[in-house]
Amino acid sequence: MVSTCWASPLPNGCEARVAATHETNADAADTAVIPDASGEPRPKRLSRGAKGWIIAGVVVVVVAALLVVADLVTRSVAEAQVADTVERRLPASVQGDVEAQIGGVSVLWQLVTGTATEITLTSDDLTVAGTPVGAEVVARGVPIRGEGTIDSVDATFALDEDALNALVRAQHVPGGFSLGDGTVGYRGTLEVFGVEVSYQATARAEAAGDRVLLTPVGVELGAGGVSIDAGDLVSRLLGGDPVVVCVADRLPEGVKVTNVDVTPERVRVEVAAADLPMQREALSRTGVCG
């Protein structure tokens, strides 16, 4: 069969097809990626959608960073205000500098809700009725506006031997105290048949609400050469009532002693309270020793 391309005298025959093919190749050459001076093709430009996502991501990061900075600044200012407020609301018998630390993830959010998740107060130079005391107080569920009640409070007070003796002297407890490993030693005198007998007892400290009980577990006698029935005297000392040290008038009303830990260096007293009023009058009002 003879092809009609060669037989056709019209330009729209095979010649036209060849011409069209040449034009297509020329257009393709015109739209090809032009290499840069180094011979590498130019990178493709980002679409508008991709640019939008990148900008949005940058904005989110910047906003998050600003919020973190704002929260840190707010936390620092709030902690200073809390410390100042606590110092002004301390009972008249309590003095000292207080440091505050606000817990929780975001202080800004706590300000919005009106309740601080956790506030820790510490003081290394606190004095209670002139007695130096180290203190740490952890309060949870604290109303930021200073009204209402605190959900719970746990506090620890540390006293060395001198501070302990100053405290018990204020309670008119006779004798002096010394600290041991889990025990407290104290000195005193008893009158036996008209004879004053000195003794030194070792006692176990126990928390009892607004009091600390010292129950004798050992005793040494010093009769000064006088013949006495030591067995009877020891029984009286070990089997008698414990020595009571009241701490109610050193604590806000409603605060109870929960634990006493004694080492040769210091005695650590732990106290706790629930639903503690935030009003200044309530915090300034202490318990009563009677």
In three state form, how does the secondary structure of 168-219 look? HHHCCCCCCEEECCCCEEEEEEEEECCEEEEEEEEEEEEEEECEEEEEEEEE
Domain housing 172: 161-268
Question: pLDDT tens digit string along 151-201?
Answer: 999 999 898 998 888 877 776 666 678 899 989 887 777 776 777 777 777
Among candidate residues 113, 138, 158, the one where a domain is terminated: 158
Residue 183 domain-assigned? yes
Are residue 80 and residue 165 in the same domain, yes or no?
Answer: no
Are residue 120 and residue 72 in the same domain, yes or no?
Answer: yes
Are residue 145 and residue 193 in the same domain, yes or no?
Answer: no
Q: Are 139 and 121 in contact (CB under 8 A)?
A: yes
Structural tokens at position 6: 């060669």
Are residue 181 and residue 97 in the same domain, yes or no?
Answer: no
- Which pLDDT score, from 0 to 100, does residue 51 have? 64
Are residue 110 and residue 173 in the same domain, yes or no?
Answer: no
> Considering the chain, what is the average pLDDT of its residues?
76
DSSP 65-121: HHHHHHHHHHHHHHHHHHHHHHHHTS-TTEE---EEEE-SS-HHHHHHHTEEEEEEE
Residue 130 domain-assigned? yes
Residue 28 domain-assigned? no
Residue 143 domain-assigned? yes
User: pLDDT category, 253, cuts 50, 70, 90?
Assistant: confident
| 3-class DSSP state of 3 | coil
CA–chain centroid gap for 148, Å, is 21
Are residue 79 and residue 104 in the same domain, yes or no?
Answer: yes
**Phi, then psi, of 105 in degrees rounded to 5:** -75, -50
Residue 279 domain-assigned? no
Which has more pLDDT, 15 or 201? 201
Are residue 96 and residue 151 in the same domain, yes or no?
Answer: yes
- Which pLDDT score, from 0 to 100, does residue 106 have? 84
User: pLDDT category, 64, cuts 50, 70, 90?
Assistant: low
Residue 48 domain-assigned? no
The lowest-confidence range among 23-37, 212-226, 268-282 is 23-37
Q: Are 215 and 238 in contact (CB under 8 A)?
A: no
Among candidate residues 119, 134, 158, the one where a domain is terminated: 158
128 vs 134: CA distance, rounded Å = 10
The lowest-confidence range among 113-122, 139-148, 225-234, 256-265 is 225-234
User: pTM of the prediction?
Assistant: 0.65
